[in-house]
A and B are shown apart, each in its own frame.
Chain A
Amino acid sequence: MGEAIAFYFIAACILGFAVLVISTKDTVHSVLFLVVDFLFVAALYVLLGAQFIAAIQILVYAGGIVVLYLFVVMLVNLKRPPEAHADPHRLTKVGLGMSAAVLLELGAIALYSSQLPATPVAPGAPMPVTGNTEQVGWLLYTSYLIPFEVASMLLLVAMIGAIVLAKREL
């Protein structure tokens, strides 16, 4: 009961702040709402018992990436109204069509999955370690070793690419 209340409260906050992120006129305020949104997502992870992921979520997204967003938004002057405001009706139809398509898709998924019989999730092999961080580490270095290595290689490539783009004549 308490868990359900907490979940619905956090979920409502996540959606509400997400709407504020895209509806606020001031870009800096929009970035700040994004930070609050990330904090609530971290709270959702805590509710699911994944404290490690929650801490990483705050450290990487709220504390790292969004700080860089904020720099860009603060230093690039966006006070001037964007061009799209001159003709507010031009993109409305496209947006309406796309959101209708997404809504239809979500409805179809909900309808389809409600007719499937509930299959219980097979319990994984018991892990030799206890504790949240230890379990995440264990899974990453056993069952998910190859995806983990591929992801790290991808990040390395992205980093080198960024350096090459920023410093043409090294």
Chain B
Amino acid sequence: MVDTLVIPLLKILIVLNATLVAVTYMVLLERKVIAWAQSRLGPMRVGPYGVLQPVADAVKLMIKEDITPVRADRWVFTAAPIISMVPALIVYAVIPFGPTVSLFGRQVSLYITDINVGLLYIVSVASVGVYGIILAGYASNSKFPLLASLRASAQLISYEVAVTLTLVSVILMSGSLSMVSIVRAQEASGMWYMFVQPLAFGIFVIGSLAETNRAPFDMPEAEQELTGGFHTEYSGMRFALFFLAEYANMIVVSSVATTLFLGGWLPPFPNVPLFDFLDIIPSWTWFLIKSFLFLYFFIWIRATLPRYRYDQLMRLGWKMLIPLAIANLVITGIVKVLLA
């Protein structure tokens, strides 16, 4: 009873709440880091150094008027924010934050579940998330959201191909689709896959920037061309759901990159005896540190690079990243067969 019901429910509760808190504070972190990059202070008024800004934002968004355009497709308009938020949250079911540890005299695994098709589950759930954007643009019955949603879905579908191809080369290396087994395989080989598969890692990082609609690929939200992007007609909490889904997706791709390429919960140099002193730091701390560095990198990129033009974006995706990913996959396969 306790093992089959209470502990999984507790884990789900903790992971969901931690994610939502992390998402709201990601927004603050982004504003702060960009402010520092531009020699500003960022939010300073609400709480010391603005730490209560997310709370103020949440209250403001909740009490705002919720507007549905008259000519909108009412049902789809309501469903679209939910469709973008849900896939971003249920992906956390297979993210391993750490191995099995003993907690209060009980063996507790630091992941919600470890299914045999973990990585495939993440890819397929993420592929459903694109409906949120398409439907938001369609249901608004307005020009700019429709254009933005067409751009967004074309961009997502293009970069999904390259990203999925890099995942296949990781699967070839580890011989498994389960997220826990992929980390275990990195532990056994004594090397993070970032060093074995540098090209795949690079393509994954660029592709995940594009898949989360982040700068320099934030084409769907290009304010100068499209007013606000696919969520122009949304207000109040529904707009907030799109906003939160974007940040939740950022945390998802950071966690996936950490698990696949940065050794998940493993410390650096997992098999070198010289670095054994690093084991005193708990495993989940390593996971959080690595994910945080990745998120910081996302914000840093946004503060540094200007936006791509749309045709350049498509050219980069189809003519550079996908052929490189296929070449990487073929070379990985050949090397794997030669070494076996």
A, B assembled together: yes
Whether B120 pairs with A56 at a CB distance below 8 angstroms is yes
Bound complex: CA A56 to CA B117 (Å): 10
* A residues contacting the other copy or chain, number (CB 8 A): 23
Q: How many CB-defined contacts (below 8 Å) exist between A and B?
A: 65
A62 within 8 A of B: yes
B17 within 8 A of A: no
- Minimal Cβ-Cβ distance residue in A for B87: A63
B128 within 8 A of A: yes
Whether B117 pairs with A132 at a CB distance below 8 angstroms is yes
Chain A residues lying within 8 Å of B117, measured Cβ to Cβ, are: 51-52, 54-55, 132-133
Partner of B124, one of A32, A59, A67, A133: A59
A28 within 8 A of B: yes
Whether A133 pairs with B123 at a CB distance below 8 angstroms is no
Interface centre among B146, B150, B177 (most CB of A within 10 A): B177
* B residues contacting the other copy or chain, number (CB 8 A): 25
Whether B123 pairs with A59 at a CB distance below 8 angstroms is yes
Q: Using an 8 Å CB-CB cutoff, how does the interface string of B135-150 with A read, 1 for contact, 0 for none?
A: 1001000000010001
Chain A residues lying within 8 Å of B124, measured Cβ to Cβ, are: 55-56, 58-59, 62-63
Chain B residues lying within 8 Å of A70, measured Cβ to Cβ, are: 131, 134
- Minimal Cβ-Cβ distance residue in A for B138: A74
SS of A interface (majority): helix
A25 within 8 A of B: no
A131 within 8 A of B: yes
Partner of B157, one of A29, A52, A67: A67
A107 within 8 A of B: no
Bound complex: CA A70 to CA B123 (Å): 20
Bound complex: CA A26 to CA B124 (Å): 27
A64 within 8 A of B: yes
Chain A residues lying within 8 Å of B131, measured Cβ to Cβ, are: 32, 35, 67, 70
In the complex, how many angstroms separate the beta carbon of A8 from the nearest chain B beta carbon?
24
Q: Using an 8 Å CB-CB cutoff, how does the interface string of A42-73 with B read, 1 for contact, 0 for none?
A: 00000000011011101100111001001100
Chain B residues lying within 8 Å of A58, measured Cβ to Cβ, are: 124-125, 127-128
In the complex, how many angstroms separate the beta carbon of A29 from the nearest chain B beta carbon?
7
Bound complex: CA A66 to CA B73 (Å): 19
Bound complex: CA A31 to CA B325 (Å): 32
In the complex, how many angstroms separate the beta carbon of A158 from the nearest chain B beta carbon?
18
Partner of A59, one of B120, B135, B138: B120
Partner of A133, one of B116, B130, B138: B116
Bound complex: CA A64 to CA B123 (Å): 11
Q: Using an 8 Å CB-CB cutoff, how does the interface string of B155-176 with A read, 1 for contact, 0 for none?
A: 0010000000000000000001
Whether A67 pairs with B153 at a CB distance below 8 angstroms is yes
Whether A28 pairs with B76 at a CB distance below 8 angstroms is yes
Interface centre among A32, A55, A64, A71 (most CB of B within 10 A): A55
In the complex, how many angstroms separate the beta carbon of B148 from the nearest chain A beta carbon?
13
In the complex, how many angstroms separate the beta carbon of A136 from the nearest chain B beta carbon?
10
- Minimal Cβ-Cβ distance residue in A for B139: A28
B121 within 8 A of A: yes
Bound complex: CA A26 to CA B141 (Å): 14
21 contacts between A and B (CB under 8 A): A28-B73, A28-B138, A32-B76, A51-B115, A51-B121, A52-B116, A52-B120, A55-B117, A55-B123, A56-B124, A59-B124, A62-B127, A62-B128, A63-B127, A64-B127, A67-B157, A70-B134, A71-B134, A74-B138, A132-B116, A133-B117
Give chain B's interface residues, CB within 8 Å of chain A. 73, 75-76, 115-117, 120-121, 123-128, 130-131, 134-135, 138, 146, 150, 153, 157, 176-177
